[in-house]
Amino acid sequence: MSPAADDEDAPALVYVIGRVNQGIRREMQGRLKEWGLTIPEYTTLSVLRRRPGLSNAQLSRRSMIMPQSMIEVLASLEERGLVRREVDPDHGRILRAELTDDGRAILERADPVIDAMEDAMLADVPARQRATVLKALISVMNRLTTGLTEEAGVTGRATRSPR
């Protein structure tokens, strides 16, 4: 039949991101199993190291999931002593989370393994392009967080779309 020439139209970005995510998920799951960590657990630990004191509600908004989903991750981490939660002094309802020493330790051991994975999968992408890719994806992430129907609000107010 006709040789080649049928690969000119590229796949959609949403498709490629989905596949990449699925590949990353499989790799991470296998590597994190050694420490009994699930992917959202590892991710949450990482976020809490960078942003200590975030509440469940704040964490869930950052992850674009419902607070009912995040609470389960947090509960599991707290139960195992990897995360500690303390009442906010200014608001008795809010519980602010932070890493325990155990949490920090397990993260420091898992990190190099995940970093190596990221390096391996980026092997063919020149360093200069990596910055561009990361910046573009962060921009997409922010769009998705603030809502796709919102106007191009330059002031990054975390608006939640009214129901």
Q: Which tokens in the block code for residue 96?
A: 């602010």
User: Which of 16, 20, 65, 116 touches DNA (CB under 7 A)?
Assistant: 65
- Contact between 146 and DNA by CB under 7 A: the answer reads no
Confirm if 87 and 101 have CB atoms less than 8 A apart: no
Burial status of residue 80 (CB atoms within 10 A of its CB: 0-12, 13-18, 19 or more): middle
Least spacing, CB of residue 87 vs a copy of itself, in Å = 20
Stretch that binds a copy of itself, among 4-12, 52-60, 76-84, 97-105 (CB under 8 A): 4-12
d(CA 88, CA 51): 15
- Contact between 75 and DNA by CB under 7 A: the answer reads yes
Binding mask 87-126 for a copy of itself (x = CB under 8 A): ---------------------------xx-xx-xxxxxx-
Least spacing, CB of residue 55 vs a copy of itself, in Å = 18
Least spacing, CB of residue 50 vs a copy of itself, in Å = 8
Give just the sign of the alpha carbon dihedral 92, 161, 158, 146: positive
Confirm if 57 and 67 have CB atoms less than 8 A apart: yes
Residues facing residue 91 across a β-bridge: 88
Binding mask 22-61 for DNA (x = CB under 7 A): x---x--x--------xxxx-------------xxxx---
